[in-house]
Structure 1
Amino acid sequence: MQKGYIDLHCHPALKPFGKSFRREVPGQNTTDISKTHSVWHQTVMSRLKRMTNRIFTLTKFTQTDFSSVYESGSRAIIVSLYPLEKPFVDNAIGKGFFSRLLTNLAMGVSQKRIKHVQRLTDYFPDLQAEYEYYKQLDNQWIHYKGAQLKYQLITNFNQIKQSQANTISVLFSVEGGHALGTGIKNGDTNDKTDTILKRVDWLKKLPHKQLFITMAHHFYNELCGHAKSLGGMPKIITDQSEGMNSGFTKMGEAVMRRLLDKDEGHRILIDIKHMSIASRKRFYTILSAINSINNENIPIVVSHGAANGLHSFDNPIPSFRERAKFFMQKDINFYDDELIMIAKSQGLFGIQLDERRVTNKKGLRKSKHWFNKAKRKQRKAFLVWRQIEHIADVLDSEGLRCWNIQAIGSDFDGIVDPINEYWTANDINELKNQLLPHAAHYLQGKTFNNPENDLSAEEIIDKAFTQNAMLFLEKNF
């Protein structure tokens, strides 16, 4: 079994970029990995920090700092450019010290970063600044535990194939259409469509291709409606209600069509994570029309998500009842019909390594084992296997190849509650090892509708962690 993985969705810069705002010149990366504003800086995950996560679901350690990514043996990661949304920092508590303290406690980005976001009137310069942060150390050597390492911002697929063991291949995506400059109420009532479309064109012409964009995120962005997504403290202090469960706006449809167009630069695919049901329905309708007109089959992407175990929007009943009762059956997660559409489009489904998404409270209780770490690791890995298995059963029941869309979209260093025991990139190989017996047990006596689905446990895990993403990148990058 291969070492490492390809991550479809992670935020290595969220914490260090945020902490760079404590410096004289904000937004500076550094090759000095001892500094917290370096994307290579690795936070030691103490027992106290693990306990803080278990009790309060606060992730106070780095997960995909590039040092950890290197140690995992990862060949490539797709980093998500994400301007932090103002409602997180301008919330029910206000904008003062206590609000900043709580937000920083949850995100670990520094209070000066939070002050900066509170003053934003446009998200787009923030997007550009994070992109520049990554560019600063492109192909720059750093020293780590006696090794010379670097990361490379990828411009073509061959660079990934030819990359050396001491080089991390970095690709880009964008999380949230608000990054284009929408979603902030600043009193301007003029139509922003032309400005936003010019910014889409800027994205499409960058030398480092943006592979996909997550159109929706946690709050209304004037482009499309979002699904309910927040829990815990963020749910208490923020309000997601505006625009939630609505569909695409006129401006949003124009932006989506421009992203998918091959003119004015490369195509940027649409990541359907965070979209409301109404937005997803409209997206599928428009995508079908574009495919029909152009005789194409544009891939559908879920960069970081989970199955909800329900059949469809219009028939939300479980198709595999015994398994589905352990899933989070909310529309932030995805229906079986959508898994089938993703497979038919030759798309990709990144399984999110977040306990709040891959299972429900019943599943979490069942996954615990307080006194035996080995059993706890096995049970926690089963939360991921249950997702891989469900996708396979849904697709095989349709006679489709059932192991081709599963991938990993960890959402590490985002606002996540990682699956306990699999906290960071360093734990990925252990997760793979723990998944093997689950896959082998599933295959015992298993008969597939499509004979091509009869693979070994090792082949299944390799496909989910590396091969499916590599094939997708070869076709679409």
Structure 2
Amino acid sequence: MFDFHFHPLGKQFLSNYDVEELKNDTYSHPVQLPPLGATLNDLLSRILNSQASVSQSIKGGVSLGIANVITPEYVFASKRGVLKLLELDLFDRDVIAPLDNRIFDFIRNDENYNFLFERELNFYGWASGYPNKTNSLIKILTRKGGANNRLKMDSKKLNLVMAIEGGHNLIAESINDPFPKGTILDKVKEYRDKDYGYDFLYLTLTHLSHVPRASLCSHAFGFKLVKASKVTEAVPSIPGLSRKGKKVIRELMDCSSNDYPILIDIKHMSLKSRFDFYKERKDLLNDETFKSKEKEGNAWWPIIATHMGISGYRFSEMTDLFGEIGFEKGLEFSVRIRFDRHRKMKIPEGLGIDNVYFNPMTINLCDDDIEEIAQSNGLIGISLDARILGFENFNKRHNDEEYDYMSKDDFALLFPEEAKKIIPLNEIPVEVSEEEGFLGIAGRKERELYLYCFTLLHTARVIDQLDKKERHNKSGWDFISIGSDFDGLIDSLKEAETIEDLNDFRKEVRKVIVDAEESYKDAYDLPKELEIIPRKSGKPQVDLILDKVFSQNGINFVKEWWGES
């Protein structure tokens, strides 16, 4: 098994500010929820329980995973943030979740993010040598140090490569310091040049909020657990990719000074930021002063998207989905969008009308993004977060209260004609269409399972429509992997609640993906004879594609990019 994006020590780290107290045999265990937290876990979208601790990852058969380190932003730690709600103590005992208040006090007091980032990073370093290098449960792979065995996977351990989720993690002074001595660029250079026993596969430029000192690009709105008007920092406010962001991208990828480039993960970037990034990448590849990594004598800079859902449409179709656009009171720096969901994909089980829809929010990939990634010989990790994929529960099937937000500048640049029509939202009559007919009775398990299969099928089909040379003579199935985002506060799928469930989840996918292919073709009016799943002597090669998605593609990508065969 391979996971493109998860947090195996994340929940343990958040449970104790004094990391020294975590350094014992229990570091690898799932965190234990207090009784009330265990009861509330399902009501809180199952974000509380451990989903991918080290022991769970090993039991789940993960041989290689990309361990992401992230310091919670202020928007999480503020009095309005969701983690603040979970900090509740009673007589110095956690009531809902085992979160250490001292971590969030540290963030609220404007201390620097990088301090906590490096503290968690060093926790991983400690774990890789506990109780000693030979008998440790994990191995951290690195290109540095000159010894090949540092890059070679150990079949008896959980092999990890480190990654950074969010540019704010590189701020090494107080976030409100008016005269900072260092810059994010300084940290990028440090992490590329020095050998700390680990290096980084990728940096996700932004996360779920606007952090002024780390404004590398505008972010896509994704903070859905608290109302946007309560946490204005979570609403996008700046235009596209900034000059600072362009400098950081160059510093991450230019191989003039060293051979350890750090890839850019486009997850959490706004739609405009992603389009700006594609242009910047092409400009740099045509810049004689920029040196890229090479493959077979040609420049190679793969675009990666590590824990994604898809929208199911092209950018050019987006305005057809606008159900409502306007300025929300108090958030006039952004445009609020309610998307209609047009493309119905029927679940071929149960009675009545049971349709599912991709999540059209701009945090997800449109078809244009998928094509850019394939053309760059990159890789897509499909998230196991039900909200990202598009799952709607029985009582909320019409998306009438779920909104996307885009910075005013981004919206005007992407949709100049639509921007002229925007007025305050209270002047716009809103009509929400409802699905006619008897709603079906398929449960959450079936809805999520088919939605996941539809996501795989759509991604593969979009890529296979490209010319063979554009997709490097590869199948669309060669560009897809798992990017679970386990322990990243996700609402995990019912059939893949933790990383231990991945093998069983694969079996469930295997059972339904051929039926899902037929339903998907009906939804997109595709020819019946079209083979999205490859056939051999008329038989669908399901195991072939699932081997790629669940394991081979990700492992091969990391080995190829880092030069290990």
TM band (smaller chain): 0.7 to 0.9
* Matched residue type, 2:74: K
CA distance in 2, matches of 1:377, 1:325: 12
Cα deviations by residue, 1:63-98 (Å, 9 ceiling, x for unpaired): 111110010111011110101111211244899x87
Deviation at 1:202, TM superposition (A): 1.2
> Which residue number in structure 1 is paired with residue 191 of structure 2?
203
Please say if 1:393 is aligned against 2:461.
yes
After the TM superposition, which of the residue ranges 310-319 and 111-120 deviates more from structure 2?
A: 310-319
Aligned pair partner of 1:457 in 522, 532, 542: 542
Change (3 A) 1:475 1:98: closer
Corresponding residue number in structure 1 for 2:405: none
- SS of the counterpart of 1:172? strand
Structure 1 residues 446 and 379 mapped into 2: Cα distance closer, same or farther (>3 Å)? farther
- Give the Cα–Cα distance (whole angstroms) in 1 for the partners of residues 159 and 86 of structure 2: 37
The answer to whether the 8 Å contact 2:450/2:512 transfers is: yes
Distance 1:341 1:303 in 2: 14
Aligned pair 1:86/2:74, yes or no?
yes
Cα distance in 2, alignment partners of residues 261 and 69 from structure 1? 34
**TM superposition shift of 1:54:** 2.8
Residue 219 of structure 2 aligns to a residue whose secondary structure is coil
CA separation in 2, counterparts of 1:11 and 1:91? 25
Q: Which residue of 2 aligns with 1:342?
A: 373
Distance 1:94 1:380 in 2: 25
8 Å contact from structure 2 (residues 86, 99) kept in 1: no
After TM superposition, give the deviation of residue 325 of structure 1 in Å: 6.2
Task: Count residues with an aligned counterpart.
Answer: 451
Looking at CA atoms only, which structure, 1 or 2, has the larger radius of gyration? 2
Structure 1 letter corresponding to 2:476: C
What pairs with 1:193-342 in structure 2 (closer than 5 Å)?
195-205=183-193, 206=195, 207-220=197-210, 221-233=214-226, 235=228, 237-240=230-233, 243-244=236-237, 246-265=239-258, 266-293=260-287, 296-312=299-315, 315=318, 321-323=343-345, 326-342=357-373
Out of 312-321 and 7-16, give the one that drifted further.
312-321
Change in Cα spacing, 1:338 to 1:82, as seen in structure 2 (3 Å) is: same
2:385 touches 2:491 (CA, 8 Å); kept in 1? yes
1:407 matched to which residue of 2?
A: 481
TM-score for both structures, normalised by structure 1: 0.83
Aligned to 1:174: 164
Distance in 2 of aligned mates of 1:183 and 1:94: 25
Q: 1:423-470 CA deviation, whole Å, 9 max, x = no partner?
A: 111111111000002233356775348979996100111111111101
Correspondence for 1:439:
513
Rounded Cα–Cα distance in structure 1 between residues aligned with 2:203 and 2:285? 19
Alignment partner of 2:453: what SS? helix
- Pairwise CA RMSD of aligned residues? 3.6
Q: 1:136 Cα deviation (Å)?
A: 0.8
Name the counterpart of 2:154: 163
Which of 390, 407, 410 does residue 359 from structure 1 map onto?
390
Q: Give the number of the structure whose residues are more often helix, by fraction.
A: 1
Contact 2:450 2:516 in 1 (8 A): no
Q: 1:234 to 1:473 in 2, by over 3 A?
A: farther
Give the secondary structure class of the aligned counterpart of 1:152: strand
Contact 1:343 1:404 in 2 (8 A): no
Secondary structure of 2:41's aligned partner: helix
Change over 3 Å in CA distance of 1:353–1:105 after alignment to 2:
farther
2:558 aligned partner, one-letter code: L
Query: In the TM superposition, what is the alpha-carbon distance from 1:57 to its structure 2 partner?
Result: 1.5
Aligned to 2:411: none
State the shift of 1:106 in Å.
8.0
Q: Hey, what's the Cα distance between the residues in 1 that align with 2:300 and 2:342?
A: 29
Change (3 A) 1:364 1:162: farther
1:417 alignment counterpart? 491
1:287-337: CA deviation from partner (whole Å, max 9, x where unpaired): 111223455231111111110112126755589933496011110111001
Cα distance in structure 2, aligned partners of 1:275 and 1:322: 27
Cα deviation 1:135-162 (Å, max 9, x = unaligned): 11214249xxxxx761111125866764
* 1:377-420 CA-partner distances (Å, limit 9, x unpaired): 44432222121111012122234521011111111111211112
Describe the SS at the equivalent of 2:8: coil
Q: Percent identity?
A: 24
Alpha-carbon distance between aligned partners in 2 of 1:257 and 1:457, rounded to the nearest angstrom:
40
Check the 8 A contact 2:64/2:555 in 1, yes or no.
Answer: no
1:218 deviates by 1.0
- For 2:462 and 2:81, how far apart are their aligned partners in 1? 44
| Length-normalised TM-score, structure 2 | 0.71
Unaligned runs of 5+ in 1: 143-147
Contact 2:302 2:373 in 1 (8 A): yes
